[in-house]
A and B are shown apart, each in its own frame.
Chain A
Amino acid sequence: MDLSSFRLLFLLSLLVTHLSFSHVLADSHFEGFDAEEDDPVEDDILHHHSIPSPPVTQSNSQPLSDLETKSHPDPNPVPTSDSPSQSDLQKPSTTSFDYWDEDEFEGLPIEQPPPEPPKVTETATPDDPESETTSKPQNATVPKKSFTVEIACGSFLIVFIVNYFTGKRENENLALAWAAKFATKGSIFEKNFSLLGVGEGEDSPLLLKEGQTVFKFYASGRRYCQGLLATMELKSRHDLISRLFNLVVPCKDEITFEVYMNDEAMDQVVFAVAKKKAAKGMQKEVRDLQRFAGLMPTPSGRKWVVDELSVISESKEVAGDLITETVLEQVFGDKAFEKYGKNFISMHFSDQHPGLLRKMLLFKFALPDANHMADITRLVALVPYYIDLIGRYKLSSQARSKTEAARVKAAQEAYKELQNARQEALQRKKAEKKKMLEEAEAKLSAEAARKREAKDRARQMKKAMPRMKMTRAH
């Protein structure tokens, strides 16, 4: 955090140096432009700068002598050795002189002005060695250099930096508001988990910050599960460009709970609830849902979730058992959902998650703003409720045989796929080996040819050598 702020400060300082430089540069282009300041050092620089620019095609010596003679009448002469910065600032003017390629204009009559004299020369061409005052009105006619780009971009950058700090604070406040509501003493997570926070010990930090938008909360020490990881993904409030982009494409602050279940505590369950549109997408895209589960039609003759939601489940039995009366009454029922469920996005339980921990419960909710954190209390309460429900849940033998068969089939397919992949890899390896061998052979043959050639040459040399010697001996 500190490091990044330091960086931004550094960037800002660079910008400031740039601006100050460009200020001086601008002055050097339009000498005498801001006559009110009448800074002696600057005047001197400007004076010097204006001299070498005249389009002299012959040699360096003349402008240099010019420079000396002209620097004398300067009203406030400052010795060149006075300030180190001065020599720095003069540098550009000399380089500009260096660009003048004398060879390009060889043979031209001396009186003829160069085809395209640089702007600076306009101000310097009149022979007015005695006064700067005469050059001032002429300067006024030079077209002004516009600073719109600098002003616009500079102010944007400043707003960006200010927004970085305010946005960062906003995100932190939101995450802290969540932690204060759900993870402090006497709160729901404290009652359910014995270890809270990402560190060890009593006063370990509750939240882990990753970047400026991701906050993580970890809890562990509960029956049926190994641990719970809540990840808050907040809007990029610290980033002005993303913020502007989000005005066009709105997005939400989200919190995802991942509950890692104990292996023995979770039966073969694949189940998900989501908003209708999202559910269709999930069913198609999420691998385990796609393989094992299907969209559940609303059963007749019993209370069910609101129309906005869809249930994806491996079997009717699982869906019926996991959508309990309590849940309907508290969150997913017609009445309750309107009031408490508006921040619900999805939940997804599966014993077939890809990755190391296969048995996992996933809950995804939208985060309300910091002052309305209580809106999601009932949703958060779903987490421990479902941990217990799933932890105790056992499939009936009939359903279990079905799910077992599906898993065996899936495992077989996976095994086949693995086998295929392995075989492919083997074949590829073989082909590569063959290719390498061929290449090596080709190389060998080439080498042999080279050797033969070398031998031939040596033999010829040998043939030639004695003759040489003989001639020398004569």
Chain B
Amino acid sequence: MSSHNNNSTSANDPRQPSAAKPYVAQPVSPQDLPVDYSGFIAVIFGIAGVMFRYKLSSWLAIIFCAQSLANMKNVENDLKQISMAMMLVLFLFRCFNQTGPAEVPVWRRALDWLTREPV
């Protein structure tokens, strides 16, 4: 490795402390951030899970939610994602905590859930 340097720079030190500039992070606009596919998939699975009362779908939503959380990059996104994830997960758990005959339609369930007294 040093043979390279020796050819061209053995005579003097290439370093120039006076020319040193501190690191400035390049600003990244929110549009340039990579798309959060896993979050999107999580939402889709979540909605499907709620609408069709399909348990596997809700579980997949939770898994993709975890993936989305694991791949987070910066703080501004964090807030958005964590709130979204939390809402989704809580909603799913509320839905699963409801018992009753499976024939009761989803809208009725939702109505009931919305009008019940807080626990």
Contact = CB atoms under 8 A, between A and B. Distances in A.
Interface of A: 3-4, 7-8, 11, 14-15, 17-18, 21-22, 25, 28-29, 88, 91-93, 95-96, 98-99, 116, 118-119, 149-150, 153, 156-157, 160-161, 164, 188, 191-195, 197-200, 208, 210-212, 218, 220-223, 226-227, 229, 236, 238-241, 326, 330, 377-378, 380-382, 384-385, 388-389, 392
**Chain B's interface: helix, strand, loop or mixed, by majority?**
helix
Nearest to B64: A241
Choose among B1, B17, B60, B73 the residue with the greatest number of A CB atoms under 10 Å from its CB: B1
A388 B14 contact: yes
User: Can you list the 10 inter-chain pairs with the closest CB atoms, starting with the nearest?
Assistant: A221-B20, A153-B59, A195-B20, A194-B17, A96-B100, A381-B1, A92-B99, A218-B23, A385-B4, A211-B73
Contacts of A326: 3-4, 7
Interface string B86-109: 000110010011111101100010
B80 interface: no
Contacts of B100: 92, 95-96, 99, 118
B96 A212 contact: no
7 contacts: A7-B82, A14-B93, A29-B99, A153-B62, A191-B14, A222-B14, A223-B15
A382 B8 CA distance: 12
A29 B68 CA distance: 34
Interface string B16-28: 1111111101000
B69 interface: yes
B62 A157 contact: yes
Interface of B: 1-5, 7-9, 14-23, 25, 38, 55-56, 59-60, 62-67, 69-75, 78, 82, 85, 89-90, 93, 96-101, 103-104, 108, 112, 116, 119
A285 B69 CA distance: 34
Nearest to B28: A210
Given A11-B66, A211-B72, 14 more contacts: A4-B78, A15-B62, A91-B116, A91-B119, A99-B104, A153-B63, A188-B1, A193-B15, A195-B17, A198-B23, A222-B19, A378-B4, A384-B5, A392-B8
B8 A8 contact: no
Contacts of B75: 3
Contact of A239 (B14, B15, B25, B67): B67
B63 A157 contact: yes
A392 B11 CA distance: 15
Nearest to B9: A388
Contacts of A388: 8-9, 14
Given A95-B100, A239-B71, A220 B112 contact: no
Contacts of A92: 97-100
Contact of B66 (A157, A221, A384): A157
Contacts of A25: 96-97, 99
B118 to A, nearest CB: 11
Nearest to A92: B99
Contact of A330 (B3, B104, B108): B3
A92 B113 CA distance: 11
Given A28-B99, A199-B23, A384-B5, A8 B70 contact: yes
A3 B19 CA distance: 37
Contacts of A98: 112
Nearest to B17: A194
Choose among B3, B19, B25 the residue with the greatest number of A CB atoms under 10 Å from its CB: B19
A27 to B, nearest CB: 11
Contact of B93 (A4, A18, A116): A18
Nearest to A154: B59
Given A192-B15, A221-B17, A222-B14, A7 B69 contact: yes
A199 B55 CA distance: 49
Contacts of B116: 91, 95
B97 to A, nearest CB: 5
Contacts of B8: 385, 388-389, 392
A199 B24 CA distance: 9
B21 A220 contact: yes
Given A21-B97, A96-B99, A153 B71 contact: no
B3 to A, nearest CB: 7
Contacts of B3: 326, 330
Given A11-B65, A11-B69, A118-B101, A3 B78 contact: yes
